Amino acid sequence: MSADAPYVCRNAWSDARPRVLVVACSDGRLQENVDEFLNSRGIHHYDRLFVPGGPGALASSGFELLRLDQLRRETKFLVEAHKIEEVFLIFHGAAEGGPAHACCADYKRKLPGTSSDEINTAQEGDVAELQRLFAWPTNLKLHIYRAEVGADDKVRFVSLQSQKLAAGSQ
């Protein structure tokens, strides 16, 4: 097959919109893990908003307010135009004892000189703000996780939502 020849996909285009939006970091080292995690929950068809920092790019913990505003508007558009019913916010980082280079580079940029644990804490701090941000569509189901890379290089998806719901109600 020539490099110039068009590639024809096996799957036909479908006009059925997914009702799930996934906001995750564009870090290519985790894309297959994200797909596997979502597939394990029966989610195979979803809209993707993959940007540096993932859900952290929607939180005001950074210094790029124009980027923050634009990404929030784009997310709101996707939720409304595509009639999204569920949103998965997936952070990533190193688990306790995991490799420091598994941390989100966007958080390292926003918070220079911080450790893996400090970045994880900052992400957890952003959860309450993101829960408020996604409260406007009243029927929306929100799921918040961190893909944590352990010392064994295994990726575990840990819920950040339940711990922050309890902390946010204090």
- Mean residue pLDDT across the chain: 91
Instruction: Please give the single-letter amino acid code of residue 148.
Output: E
Look up the pTM and report it. 0.89
CATH at residue 44: 3.40.1050
pLDDT of residue 169: 38
Spell out, as residue ranges, where the chain has pLDDT lower than 50: 163-170
Does residue 30 lie within any of the structural domains? yes
Does residue 5 lie within any of the structural domains? no
Angstrom CA distances, 124 to 10, 33, 86, 99, 158, stand at 41, 21, 20, 19, 11
Residue 94: give the domain boundaries: 20-168
Number of domains in the chain: 1
